[in-house]
Structure 1
């Protein structure tokens, strides 16, 4: 017995068309008309779009930061993701100083196993590079299905690695079929600017963006692109925020380099004016990289439209305003850096991208699902609506409108940076591998049903071969 979604409009990265979808045994088995089989359940989705389940390739659930951890764990975070139309997340399993990659990965499996309401995979964040870690990269790919690795150019003395480690990691990844993701900010420059600001008694939240200027991101982005060229390796730039960094990516792509870029809704919709909010409210927007002056927004939208920016993720890294963010009440550098967004990503991009005429509906699907599936070894199992693909389907009703407010969201955090934003459309039904897990916009299951995703090696597109 299967399920037939009747009367909807299917949207992929390439097509928009009306047809029915038949689901059986976790997969899409047929698309067309008159495909109902005896005993099938027929669900009417008239007037709705059918999107492939959203893929958020950048989340931080249950991440320890000093003596605290992010407010969303894998249970609350993936539940919120699901209700927003995201059916797959890629989180960052982190190897801390002194650990092997396997130890770091095992720690994250323990956090996530049996707790995820969506399917999930891991990038491996490397903070302690050495010869053993280099050897482990190949084992992560072949034995664990982890085919992407992250390194930080920021957070000096905590997460930051030097250029030598970056070059070696890029070279090793290029040789063994992996994609390296990099946080691009010049950590040495930022550390100096922060120290100087504190010495002058400049401790309010408004000094956060002033000590992490766009120039620090632009320089780091250009530098890591140079390293990727020297290593003859592909590169994925995470959470790109500004015109200078985007220009570095454009220049690299024009030279034929295999460079990919990600941005986030916060950089498309918010700007640095929020840091001057009354009292301590600017702390809600302390994220890294910080929000930029408003003129960068149109540059980023243009990057999405032209395909220079490949994905829209969230960098969901939530901390409560009361009890966590206020640890930096007297020192902006001690405010935990990060903000929530996993539940609102698809709604915001649909509203302010598609409905505003800045993106086509096909580009929306590519940016929220298909491109991430292709880059991170999940396509065509994920990221599209096609026979043989997992039946991860979002039934999106464009006739529903709402206003974003923390009171009605399901993220385990006491605020949203998008408070008061209008939203057009809602994920009224969501299916994961053929099981309906959201109905009438509400969670329809009590227990997590997400599976760990063993991902394929990275597919080089501009020369080079996977090993």
Structure 2
């Protein structure tokens, strides 16, 4: 089917311009200032709206076992929430346990997503074990279209040690891939948690105190020194605070290539969410790293405006209120994570673009273009170009809304942004030319496709 989007303003990573877009089947066939309606079977008037490339969320956790439970959103409900929020491709985390092969992890997550995902999908491969057989599997992951990996400097079940991080960075970067790292100091965090619990301080307000910004910054510094010696680019995921950002800037001044991701909750929420009562009202904001002091929001927005933050990922890791109560009043036993995949676009536009903190093109870069380039999908994804997949988000700047939990598509049953007012909203979402969402109506089927990705396309200095 040929579909014409007429009268909109195309947003790219470098410019905006009014243009019509002709979709033929799954791809963009033509872009011009004016395209005759008789070239299409369906004509959509999108006058006054912005057209973005479909958003890419390279940080989701669907159907993930955590703390003796499983995240509330599997690929069916999680991808539906993604589509509702304009995300047409997710890169989730295939996560084998220690002792399991990378291939087992990939096969397991492929089975979770195939036939259930409403959006297109791929995976980062989590490296939570390090031995000769794991090392031998890394090239095989690239052969199957997996070119990005995840490592942890915290969580005993996930950590592999600094020496393994060093070797992993070297091997992955030599093959043209990218490693993202969760940076917190595990040892000191565990010691602080033990101290708080010994004193009977188990309320959520002690969660950010147990994982202070300084321990994130220390781990970022340590990672970047390891990457310096390994001579490898690296991605710092879900960076939250000014001290950690300063460590990144110091490394960049040394000539290192460092990419940074942050998340919506660090941009619009602050640590006072942990002071709420009763327990569940604060516990539903527990995540790692924690939500920080409000002063850090301005630092992150300014860094994004200067191009120092490359991507915004949701870190969608959803749990129901009942699941959050498993901790029984103890913050350290509460499954951590927020349902955010549905809200990245409206939050970034409303609290970033509309307030003048970032431009439309910067929004396009951090949500679409940069993600596609970093993770080997550009220009098939992340671009509005002839020949690109017709993944398109139509944003109506006049359709203001208020975020409410009852309108959310996540299985979590609540929204951490309940009551937030938006400037405009997402009017239509197309995935490979198929209309998936129109206003509040989600007319979607689980026909998302696995995206076999190539090498990272970001040019790095050597």
Name the TM tier (shorter chain).
over 0.9
User: Partners in 2 of 1:160 and 1:37 — Cα distance?
Assistant: 59
- Note the alpha carbon deviations across 1:257-307, whole angstroms, 9 max, x for none: 111000001001111111110120210110000011111111111110011
Residue 3 (structure 1) aligns with: 3
Q: Secondary structure of 1:206's partner?
A: helix
Q: Secondary structure of 1:127's partner?
A: coil
**Residue pairs, 1:245-260, within 5 angstroms:** 245-260=244-259
Residue 24 (structure 2) aligns with: 24
1:253 shift after superposition: 1.6
- Taking a change above 3 Å as real, the CA distance of residues 285 and 440 of structure 1, as seen in their structure-2 partners, is closer
The answer (yes or no) to whether the contact 2:11–2:361 under 8 Å persists in 1 is: yes
Q: Which ranges of 4 or more aligned residues in structure 1 deviate by more than 6 Å?
A: none
- Note the alpha carbon deviations across 1:21-51, whole angstroms, 9 max, x for none: 0111211111012355545321111111111
Q: Which moved more, 1:258-267 or 1:452-461?
A: 452-461
- Taking a change above 3 Å as real, the CA distance of residues 356 and 256 of structure 1, as seen in their structure-2 partners, is same
1:176 shift after superposition: 1.3
Q: Secondary structure of 1:164's partner?
A: helix
CA RMSD for the aligned pairs?
1.2
Q: Secondary structure of 2:204's partner?
A: coil
Residue 104 (structure 2) aligns with: 103
1:430 shift after superposition: 1.0
Residue 313 (structure 1) aligns with: 313
- Taking a change above 3 Å as real, the CA distance of residues 22 and 152 of structure 1, as seen in their structure-2 partners, is same
- Note the alpha carbon deviations across 1:401-450, whole angstroms, 9 max, x for none: 111111111111121111110012222111111111112331123x2111
Residue 336 (structure 1) aligns with: 335
Residue 179 (structure 2) aligns with: 180
- Taking a change above 3 Å as real, the CA distance of residues 217 and 39 of structure 1, as seen in their structure-2 partners, is closer
The answer (yes or no) to whether the contact 1:249–1:308 under 8 Å persists in 2 is: no
TM-score (norm 2): 0.98
Residue 140 (structure 1) aligns with: 141
User: Partners in 2 of 1:191 and 1:217 — Cα distance?
Assistant: 13
User: Partners in 1 of 2:331 and 2:439 — Cα distance?
Assistant: 42
The answer (yes or no) to whether the contact 1:183–1:239 under 8 Å persists in 2 is: yes
1:462 shift after superposition: 2.6
- Note the alpha carbon deviations across 1:191-232, whole angstroms, 9 max, x for none: 111111111111111111111010110000000001111111
Residue 129 (structure 1) aligns with: 130
- Note the alpha carbon deviations across 1:312-367, whole angstroms, 9 max, x for none: 1110001111x211111232110001111000110011000011111111111111
Q: Which runs of 5+ in 2 are unaligned?
A: none
Residue 324 (structure 2) aligns with: 325
Residue 458 (structure 1) aligns with: 456
1:386 aligns with 2:385: yes
The answer (yes or no) to whether the contact 1:20–1:35 under 8 Å persists in 2 is: no
User: Partners in 2 of 1:369 and 1:357 — Cα distance?
Assistant: 20
- Note the alpha carbon deviations across 1:157-176, whole angstroms, 9 max, x for none: 21122101111110111111
User: Partners in 2 of 1:192 and 1:125 — Cα distance?
Assistant: 26
User: Partners in 1 of 2:331 and 2:35 — Cα distance?
Assistant: 61
The answer (yes or no) to whether the contact 2:240–2:266 under 8 Å persists in 1 is: yes
User: Partners in 1 of 2:201 and 2:37 — Cα distance?
Assistant: 67
TM-score (norm 1): 0.96
- Note the alpha carbon deviations across 1:122-174, whole angstroms, 9 max, x for none: 000111111111111111012x100000001011x211221011111101111
Count of residues in Structure 1 that have an aligned counterpart in Structure 2: 460
User: Partners in 2 of 1:415 and 1:439 — Cα distance?
Assistant: 22
